[in-house]
Amino acid sequence: MSVPKRRKTSSKTKKGRSHQALKNPNYTKCPKCGASARPHYACIECGSYNSREVLKTRATKKAGQKAKKEAQAKKAQKTS
């Protein structure tokens, strides 16, 4: 196994690690709601990806729960 002939200086070490730095992610506008979203990721605000809803957001969950409760209330009124 090979062994380095000379010790690597701290500046050479840091220069070698320069490409490992974190980069800022790019953001684009969501075509559905206009919020900023990462490309190739589902929008956090509306839950859409590629013009389809793929995630249930808090707003859609609450709307679904509200509609379910209203449907149950109507069903209970009809039976009584």
Q: What is the pLDDT of residue 52?
A: 85
Q: What is the pLDDT of residue 68?
A: 85
Q: Is residue 33 part of a domain?
A: yes
pTM above 0.75, yes or no: no
d(CA 44, CA 72): 30
What is the tally of structural domains in the chain?
A: 1
Closest alpha carbon to 62 in 54, 70, 72:
70
d(CA 80, CA 68): 19
What does the block give as tokens for 13?
């070490």
**What is the extent of the structural domain holding 59?**
25-79
Q: What is the pLDDT of residue 7?
A: 95
* Per-position pLDDT tens, the chain of length 80: 899 999 999 999 999 999 998 988 899 999 888 899 999 999 888 888 988 888 887 777 777 788 888 888 888 888 76
Q: Is residue 5 part of a domain?
A: no
